Structure 1
Amino acid sequence: MRETRADFDELKEFVRGYGIAPSVTDDSFVDNLRIGHKRLFGFLTFVGEIASTNCSTNKFSDDSMSYFAECSSDVAQAVFCWIHGAYKPAYLSLRSSIETFIKAVVCTEDPTVLTEKSMYELFDIAKKSESCSGQAVDHFTKIKEMYAQLCGIAHSATAARFTQVCAFRMFPKFEETDAGTFISCFVSLVDRFIAVLLAGNRNLLPLMHFRNRQIVLETLPQQIKRSILGEEAP
């Protein structure tokens, strides 16, 4: 129909002129982006070092490395959605990253997690694994708590969670409160991801390129570093 064609022409024009440059002029947007980037960069750097050394250490299975890659993708996509103001999809990607992360760290030890469909069962299996025990316990528990919170956001249990996007022209957008809330959640979760990895891979630190080691360690709050590294924490 004529109306459909006309609307599609408008969509093409929207896509042709789409950009997020206005957001970058907002100091609050840039501040939040900088905080989110620091965690994202630190996590991707750590996963990259794990992949690099795994060729010689063979600590993780091929399936595990595939899930590390997918978790990295989930975390990066969460930030990408956030940049455009698509906050609900950002939370969905973050929730997905928890499943891929748990499978990544546990599946070498217990491959049954790869076919487990229930997240509650997945958490129970992970809780019994070496990867989520010892110094990683508290951080794993926090990840589990955050998964429950993210489920509440994803299912839009209340009207306060509705995003009500009814037109593409609403993007890109930046809402300071919503953006800040997501970044706080993102930082808390990714800190725990890195903490679990660090707790189970302390012997990897000396093998890292010194710059990458510095990036990873500077990402974490001092309290978390000390809980894992003790007096060795920089």
Structure 2
Amino acid sequence: MVHKGYFSLLVFSSELTLNQAIGINSEVLNRVNETCSDIGASILLLAHGMYKQANMSLRSSIENFSKSIAYPECESIIEDKSVFSVFEKTRSISLFSTLRLKDRYTDITSIYSDLCAYTHTANASNMANISALNSIPKFDEGKCIEFINFSKKLLTCFLIIYTHLYRDRFFKFNLGNRDAVLHVLSPTERRHLMEATP
């Protein structure tokens, strides 16, 4: 279920990097690609039952995503060490002058807050408790479902925002690749994108 969204993000990233990169700062492309890398790492960690580390990698993808979309309007964001500051700068970009897209970014930052429980080991359920290598891989249905829900929501929000941000370039993508991205979006989101209604 997660791979479907991840594949769409990979396709988007590849098209942007390989075919539509002219005029896009290399720092932006690096962050888009690192967002994909973080998601890919999280799926690998999930497959090994390393839920804490998988969620921490998801958290990292949000930071890279934020920098990738805010950099053109705020280059200093790359050097920013404060996540709060990164989020504030990102919220202020012109893309989020419309409530619908701003709400998608609010969804992303809300998931980030939930994922912080893993980074800060808020309680026992956020602990890895790996005492020996034979502790892994292991399967925990509840943690797996939680990860899947976070991932699916994040990937959808990432793609909604990216496709609006790069709408003109998106419609120059290879038709099959464009369909692979659109496949993850709801009919309503596809309509908004086609009609250019942010």
TM (norm. structure 2) is: 0.91
Alignment correspondent of 1:23: none
Asked if 1:37 corresponds to 2:3, the answer is yes
Amino acid at match of 1:159: A
Q: Which runs of 5+ in 2 are unaligned?
A: none
Partner Cα distance (2:56, 2:191) in 1:
31
Alignment correspondent of 1:47: 13
Amino acid at match of 2:55: Y
Q: Deviations over 1:137-172 (max 9, x none)?
A: 111111111111111232121123222111111212
Paired residues in the alignment total 196
Q: Bigger radius of gyration, 1 or 2? A: 1
Q: Deviations over 1:34-74 (max 9, x none)?
A: x0110100011111111123333x1x211111111211111
Pick from 2, 26, 38 the counterpart of residue 62 of structure 1.
26
Asked if 1:119 corresponds to 2:83, the answer is yes
Note closer, same or farther for the CA distance 1:54–1:130 as it changes in structure 2 (3 Å cut): farther
Deviation at 1:105, TM superposition (A): 1.2
**Contact 2:118 2:127 survives alignment (8 Å):** no
Alignment correspondent of 1:209: 174
**Contact 2:67 2:77 survives alignment (8 Å):** yes
Note closer, same or farther for the CA distance 1:109–1:53 as it changes in structure 2 (3 Å cut): farther
**Contact 2:20 2:169 survives alignment (8 Å):** no
Q: Deviations over 1:183-227 (max 9, x none)?
A: 111101111111110121221232010100110000123343345
Amino acid at match of 2:119: A
Partner Cα distance (2:74, 2:55) in 1:
28
Alignment correspondent of 2:103: 138
Amino acid at match of 1:128: S
**Contact 1:51 1:65 survives alignment (8 Å):** yes
Which secondary structure state, in structure 2, belongs to the residue aligned with residue 207 of structure 1? coil
Which secondary structure state, in structure 2, belongs to the residue aligned with residue 50 of structure 1? helix
Partner Cα distance (1:162, 1:50) in 2:
37
**Contact 1:132 1:196 survives alignment (8 Å):** no
**Contact 1:105 1:131 survives alignment (8 Å):** no
**Contact 2:117 2:126 survives alignment (8 Å):** no
Which secondary structure state, in structure 1, belongs to the residue aligned with residue 29 of structure 2? helix
**Contact 1:45 1:216 survives alignment (8 Å):** yes
Q: Tell me the percent identity.
A: 27
Amino acid at match of 2:71: C
Alignment RMSD (CA, Å): 1.8
TM (norm. structure 1) is: 0.78
Q: Which runs of 5+ in 1 are unaligned?
A: 1-34
Alignment correspondent of 2:36: 72
Alignment correspondent of 1:28: none
Alignment correspondent of 1:183: 148
